[in-house]
Structure 1
Amino acid sequence: MAGRGGASAAAPLLEKTAAAAESGGGCCYVDGCPGCAVDRHKAANPGIPYGNFIYVWIVTLCTALPISSLFPFLYFMIRDLNVAKRTEDIGFYAGFVGASFMFGRCLTSTVWGIAADRVGRKPVVVFGISSVVVFNTLFGLSVNYWMAIATRFLLGALNGLLGPIKAYAIEVCRPEHEALALSLVSTAWGIGLIIGPALGGYLALPAENFPTVFSPDSIFGRFPYFLPCLCTSIFAAVVLISCIWMPETLHKHKVHENRSRNIEALEARLIDSNEKVEESGSLDSKKSLFRNWPLMSSIIVYCVFSFHDMAYTEVFSLWAESDKKYGGLSLSSEDVGQVLAVTGASLLVYQLFLYPSINKVLGPIKSSRVAAILCIPILFAYPYMTYLSEPGLSIVLNIASVIKNNLGVSIFFCYLFFLAALKFIWF
């Protein structure tokens, strides 16, 4: 019993599995498959994949920047396009421009998800970033209202990056790093939704705000909203070039019957009897995702909060730039950009240093509930800011914006953590 056979039997199963995988005998990896190459790299490197996480960060940021970068100057853009007959109608026309992006995304997001599963994550990411470079630039060069709507619609319809990049973030790391991967997506997304409007606010109307640098006869004088769009497109072009070295994670080989039997045999030896019973008991319920109430409830919460967050992002800029006689604050696009820049900086500090401690004390669900409750009085307080004057208005507005957006991050994190937990329970 203490001989060679006993020593072999006493060897850890995971070591034998890894050795078999490396030698090819276990049929765990297929040569030439990009997904297997990523899995092999994960097995050999237990640390955090910083290089791949950089791709997750910059691609998510590239996706988020053009979504809300137009809102600080959209009010003035609609005014200059002369489509609104009355000043009070500017918000009405601006709403269609803002909604056209999400309408296009709503129509095609499922298609892009299917394409990412069949063709690969990398081609979808590359195509989506290319659409940002092209159509975001064309939006800044819009000469009429319908061109603005068309370019924003195509930008949303052809930019299906968010779903595939979330899948990519999970696939490039080991299970113990998946929470970090999802937090990177949400962090880059939240910061992008704040930095984008900040860029739009600071860089719009450059010939008026920076007359010594930009001439009224230059392209930036003739197209006063082109500069912020161009900066976002240049960043997207840099990201597009860097994606040449981005590894693909989709498995592009057929799972043969003998390979499936080998994997099942390994799983049978790795999973104890109790886990096998639980897994077999869940097979029937996998047939219908719509009957998975925890999953559906998290999706519903995400939809409701996304609606709330995007509505707030668009309405805030329009309200802040509207004249006080219409209930606004009469701020300039530069003032709005400054508020959003301060908010973006606070988001970075909150997510890196404050939220981890809050999550440890309250947990993700309770912290999201508290955040949702606190959002209500803050939102009710916004209309009353019209009665304030400087410098009190700037102080109160910055504080309210910082608190509101950081509370939103807490709610969004809860959704991501919940889905990460459901991945192990359900999938």
Structure 2
Amino acid sequence: MVRNSRAPALSRDMTPFPTRQLAVLAMCRICEPIAFMSIFPYAYYMVKSFGIAQTEAQISVYVGMVTSAFAFAECASGVFWGRLSDRIGRKKVLLGGLFGTGLSMLLFGFATSLPMALIARALGGLLNGNIGVLQTTVAELVTVEKHQPRAYSIMPFVWCLGTIIGSSLGGLLAQPAHSYPSVFENTIFETYPYLLPNLVCTGIVVFGLSFGVLFLEETHEDKRDDRDRGREVGQWLLGKLWRREDYAPLTDKDEALEETTSMLTSPTLCSSRSSFSDPPQFSLEKGCQSSPKVRAAFTKQVCLNIVGYGILAFHTISLEQLLPILMSHEESKQKPELPFKFEGGFNFSTQTIGSILAVQGALQMVAQLVVFPWISKRLGSLRTFWLTIALYPFLYLIAPYLALLPRRFRIPGIVLLLVWKVTAQSLSYPSLNILLANSAPSKRVLGTLNGTAASSASVCRGFGPTISGAVATLGDNMGVSGLAWWTIAGVAMIAWIPGSFMKEERRRPGFQGIDEDEETGLSVALVDTGSDADSVITLTSDETAEAVLSKQ
């Protein structure tokens, strides 16, 4: 038996950051926040144009229904899309979700009644399960734990950027016949005043869908070796545009090397021993690692993460609703009866509120790209999550008291509140995503788990604005404007319970591609067809590839 004693050639530290594929994924992802947020600037006026509301309060209720329709429908289908991605692959489901988004936006643009608008929004939620599948794709792309903070900060950053673009498009392009009569008067856009922003958003979605078909890789371990004609066309196009060897068609030798390397680094490598003294024999057969049953996949840590998702989504979406209300309410003319009985707000104009929310988006992008990776690398995902859920209740307890500040301190007070808010959001959600990815027993069921977490968040996002809005109305009637804030502070405190039982688990071997005891190198037993069957050569991964190619 001949053994090679060279230094190991395979190390997790040498794994490059998946920049290209995350960039492609980001291009697909940004389409959705643009489409989702584009309706908010004109939703109130659109519902008003339906002529079914008698008062402004009723308009607000119907706008809430339109907003919640997407969340509730997404909740109903989230688990289905996650499980489907475990069966047919991530790419197909992601692209299908983009198609559903585009179709929903097109129908919404033609809506002339509340039922039609609700159906269009609900259809978008039913056909789009991309939140959970997207997190699964990121988890499968990022195979090194030290890359996780950086990678998991990219998609929230893309979402923030998309919300800014989407809100701007919705505000500028709605009612074009009224805003730009010389161009759009006596056209279809006069009959359907909210069609133009939806057409533009649909065009953006079509671009993202085409980009994904051509350049997005499949990350599911059982599907990533399947032929992808879309990517073949994309590589051909890149080869024609840049004429670089990187994009040239693979030769037979290159295909053999790629297949061998893929098998060597695949998490489906299995080893078996007849006894403890026998050397391990590795099987290169695909699928040797069985998928755990769905019920077994929901471990204690996974369930704690899913509960944490729901609680976090409930109070953060309530915050998004209560903050503009606080800024727009008129100043109180009654003397406050501290500590609890007082009312009023900042009495900011809509322009001021819009400017503040734009600043909020910019702050969140900075926090997502800079603050989160820095803190997560030093504290770890679990401690970072603990830090945010510990401080969230105090944010809600303090917020309503800012309305009692003298006028010269109100802007600094609201800026401090926004910095606290965006930092907490930028730290909490990515940390929870990493914890869920690392606690999954196998990435073969990660789509199902992320889909369930997304459904948990969606149903809470559906109920959050409704419940917090009702409590805010009750508080205003009682002269206690902080009641809704203190209620969601109580909800945020509930998150301490599951959070205290969470544990930070290392990535399992199924995610790394190699076992912990194989970190120093990969030994593969190859039977030399030109010698006796008992002659076994133990090689590193690079040498193995060369040996296989030499036999071609």
Q: TM-score category by the smaller chain?
A: 0.7 to 0.9
User: Match for residue 338 of structure 1?
Assistant: 355
Q: Which runs of 5+ in 2 are unaligned?
A: 227-265, 281-290, 333-342, 441-505, 511-552
User: Match for residue 296 of structure 1?
Assistant: 303
Query: Quick one: which of 88, 91, 94 aligns to 2:57?
Result: 88
Q: 1:379 to 1:68 in 2, by over 3 A?
A: farther
Q: 1:331 to 1:133 in 2, by over 3 A?
A: farther
CA distance in structure 2 between the partners assigned to 1:408 and 1:102 by the alignment: 19
Q: 1:336 to 1:213 in 2, by over 3 A?
A: farther
User: Match for residue 276 of structure 1?
Assistant: none
More helix, by proportion:
1
CA distance in structure 2 between the partners assigned to 1:317 and 1:217 by the alignment: 36
Query: Quick one: which of 47, 62, 66 aligns to 1:97?
Result: 66
CA distance in structure 2 between the partners assigned to 1:153 and 1:163 by the alignment: 18
CA distance in structure 2 between the partners assigned to 1:228 and 1:218 by the alignment: 15
User: Match for residue 181 of structure 1?
Assistant: 151
Paired AA for residue 126 in structure 1 = L
CA distance in structure 2 between the partners assigned to 1:261 and 1:369 by the alignment: 34
**For 1:235-274, what per-residue CA distance to the aligned partner results, in whole angstroms no more than 9, with x for missing partners?**
21111111122222332489xxxx99972249x99xx99x
Query: Quick one: which of 315, 319, 340 aligns to 1:308?
Result: 315
Q: 1:397 to 1:51 in 2, by over 3 A?
A: same
CA contact (8 A) 1:342 1:398 kept: no
Query: Quick one: which of 357, 363, 366 aligns to 1:349?
Result: 366
CA distance in structure 2 between the partners assigned to 1:94 and 1:319 by the alignment: 19
Q: Which runs of 5+ in 1 are unaligned?
A: 19-41, 274-282
Q: 1:318 to 1:66 in 2, by over 3 A?
A: farther
User: Match for residue 417 of structure 1?
Assistant: 434
Query: Quick one: which of 187, 199, 204 aligns to 1:235?
Result: 204
User: Match for residue 10 of structure 1?
Assistant: 5
Paired AA for residue 295 in structure 1 = V
Q: Partner of 1:247: helix, strand, or coil?
A: coil
Q: 1:350 to 1:76 in 2, by over 3 A?
A: same
**For 1:367-392, what per-residue CA distance to the aligned partner results, in whole angstroms no more than 9, with x for missing partners?**
43443454445445655677899998
Distance apart, 1:160 and its partner CA: 1.2
User: Match for residue 503 of structure 2?
Assistant: none
**For 1:188-230, what per-residue CA distance to the aligned partner results, in whole angstroms no more than 9, with x for missing partners?**
234444554454345444555x447764544445444334433
Query: Quick one: which of 368, 375, 378 aligns to 1:358?
Result: 375
RMSD of aligned Cα (Å): 4.2
CA distance in structure 2 between the partners assigned to 1:83 and 1:330 by the alignment: 29
TM normalised by structure 1 equals 0.72
CA distance in structure 2 between the partners assigned to 1:194 and 1:373 by the alignment: 29
Distance apart, 1:60 and its partner CA: 2.5
Q: Partner of 1:139: helix, strand, or coil?
A: helix
CA distance in structure 2 between the partners assigned to 1:357 and 1:171 by the alignment: 22
Paired AA for residue 219 in structure 2 = T
CA contact (8 A) 1:72 1:318 kept: no
Q: Partner of 1:288: helix, strand, or coil?
A: helix
Report which structure shows greater RCO (CA 8 Å, sep ≥6).
Answer: 2
Paired AA for residue 288 in structure 1 = A
CA contact (8 A) 1:122 1:247 kept: yes
CA contact (8 A) 2:135 2:433 kept: no
Distance apart, 1:284 and its partner CA: 11
Q: Partner of 1:71: helix, strand, or coil?
A: coil
Alignment of 1:22-421 (within 5 A): 46-176=15-145, 177-193=147-163, 195-206=165-176, 210-211=179-180, 215=184, 217-245=186-214, 246-250=216-220, 251-252=222-223, 263-265=270-272, 288-290=296-298, 292-314=299-321, 316=323, 331-332=349-350, 336-360=353-377, 362-380=379-397, 397=414, 400-421=417-438
TM normalised by structure 2 equals 0.57
User: Match for residue 234 of structure 2?
Assistant: none
Distance apart, 1:114 and its partner CA: 1.8
Paired AA for residue 157 in structure 1 = L
CA distance in structure 1 between the partners assigned to 2:384 and 2:390 by the alignment: 10
Q: 1:159 to 1:316 in 2, by over 3 A?
A: farther
CA distance in structure 2 between the partners assigned to 1:160 and 1:380 by the alignment: 34
CA contact (8 A) 1:322 1:331 kept: no
CA distance in structure 2 between the partners assigned to 1:389 and 1:82 by the alignment: 41
CA contact (8 A) 1:207 1:221 kept: yes
Distance apart, 1:148 and its partner CA: 0.8
Distance apart, 1:169 and its partner CA: 1.9
CA distance in structure 2 between the partners assigned to 1:378 and 1:53 by the alignment: 33
**For 1:98-143, what per-residue CA distance to the aligned partner results, in whole angstroms no more than 9, with x for missing partners?**
1110111111111111221222222212211111112112213321
CA contact (8 A) 1:214 1:220 kept: no
CA contact (8 A) 2:149 2:372 kept: no
Q: Partner of 2:270: helix, strand, or coil?
A: helix
Identical counterparts, % of pairs? 25
Q: Partner of 2:217: helix, strand, or coil?
A: coil
Paired AA for residue 298 in structure 1 = N
